Structure 1
Amino acid sequence: MSTASIEIRDTAFDHPDSEALRAAQRVEIDARYGGDTEPGTKPSASDVPVFVVAYDDAGRPVGCGGLRQLDDASAEIKRMFVTPDARGTGVSVAVLHALEERARSRGWSTLRLETGTAQPDAVRFYEREGYTLIPNFGAYAGAAESLCYERRI
């Protein structure tokens, strides 16, 4: 699969494809951390106005991500995920760039995110894409397994 064969679609947070990808992410996160360790309010259709799903050339959903507004100028990336079989194919970059584009179109100039200490692959990805480690913000402040990043877009 090449990035040319990836289609990014704006999709509702509660669309069946979105739900299936988020469920797969939950299984992986629970396995890495031994359960749900996410502090704060879980994202929902009511507070994630932007959600995208990546589809491969067979029309299969292979990645997703969303944005939850933090303030007038910033949003948080939520539920960024790529299926294991699609990793390393450009899906994560396509989803992230789509989220950045949608953030800019809404006037948001800063994106933040939280990942965790048991996700070195995610840490490498975000750092490679220009995100900088920042002090843990919001509900993540004081969360030992949380790592927070930010990028001005």
Structure 2
Amino acid sequence: MSSISIELEDINKPDAWQLIHELSTVLEGITGSSGKNSFNLDEMLSPRSIFVLARAEGKAVGCVAIRPLDEKTGEMKRMYAKEKGVGAKLLAFIEGQAKRLDYSTIVLETRMINQQAVRFYEKHGYTRIENYGKYIGRTEAICFEKKI
């Protein structure tokens, strides 16, 4: 794996849009849903929302976002890593940024069928919780949280 740099990024930049589009295509193939309906760009206008991009040798290879659910809870969205090891680095970075933004908890949703994602989050200390918000009653969804 090449050297990875991770930085805050403007979500409206071409690299960000490219990765979000790629993730939507990948999710469609795994779950049958692109996940686009669960990511509202207006939510990224909050001063407590951030978008992060990972690059390897200048090439965009991963992304993740966080947005506020409430005063102390940030919701992680659009996690995507194209190379092995990028996801763990993105996760560590976004958790640090979440602390900086004064969140004490991160929550997220993925699909049960996406077992690679489920295993990844469990491996990194996320625990399953009751489905929240729009995911309540949706049996295909699985929600996680981590106290940070």
Do both share a fold (TM > 0.5)?
A: yes
2:43 to 31, 44, 47: 47
Where relative contact order (Cα < 8 A, 6+ residues apart) is larger, the structure is 1
Q: Which amino acid in the other structure matches residue 141 of structure 2?
A: S
Q: Secondary structure at the match of 2:134?
A: helix
CA distance in 1, matches of 2:126, 2:146: 5
* Cα distance change on mapping 1:144 and 1:23 into 2, 3 Å: same
Q: Structure 2 matches for 1:3-152, cutoff 5 A?
A: 5-36=3-34, 38=35, 41-44=38-41, 46-48=42-44, 49-56=49-56, 58-83=57-82, 86=83, 88=84, 90-152=85-147
- Where do 4+ consecutive residues of structure 1 move more than 3 Å? 38-41
Per-residue Cα deviation, 1:123-144 (whole angstroms, up to 9, x for no partner): 1110010000000000111112
- Name structure 1 gaps, 5 residues minimum: none
Kindly indicate whether the alpha-carbon contact (under 8 Å) linking 1:13 and 1:51 is maintained by their aligned counterparts in 2.
yes
C-alpha displacement at 1:42, in angstroms?
2.6
Identity %: 35
C-alpha displacement at 1:41, in angstroms?
4.7
Q: Secondary structure at the match of 1:71?
A: coil
Please, what is the CA RMSD of the aligned residues? 1.5
Give the structure-2-normalised TM-score: 0.92
